[in-house]
């Protein structure tokens, strides 16, 4: 499954390295590009969306047992 989270340490390093408005625009473009890549991956691989979720235990449906009664016979 794709992880959309961002490492806070990476973000702090990137923000501290910004020296101009151009650097801020580059960071914004990088984040938008990563979101787009993740969205495209999710669209092409919908089964991967649930890969990290714990398995769901199926509910066992038990049918009640009925006694078979024949009509027309006095017993």
Q: Tens digit of pLDDT for each residue in 10-64?
A: 999 999 999 999 999 999 998 888 888 878 877 787 776 665 566 677 778 888 7
The predicted pLDDT at position 64 comes to 78
List the domain range (segments joined by +) for residue 67.
Answer: 1-75
**Can you give the pTM of this predicted structure?**
0.51
Angle at 15 between CA 14 and CA 21, to 5 degrees: 110
Question: What domain count does the chain have?
Answer: 1
Average pLDDT value for the chain: 80
More confidently predicted of 9 and 49: 9
The predicted pLDDT at position 16 comes to 93
């Amino acid at each position: 499954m794709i992880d959309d989270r961002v490492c806070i340490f990476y973000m702090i390093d990137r923000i501290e390295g910004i020296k101009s408005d151009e650097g801020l625009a580059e960071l914004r473009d990088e984040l938008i590009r990563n979101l787009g890549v993740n969205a495209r991956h999710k669209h092409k691989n919908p089964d991967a969306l649930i890969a990290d979720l714990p398995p769901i235990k199926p509910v066992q449906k038990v049918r009640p047992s009925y006694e078979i009664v024949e009509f027309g016979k006095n017993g």
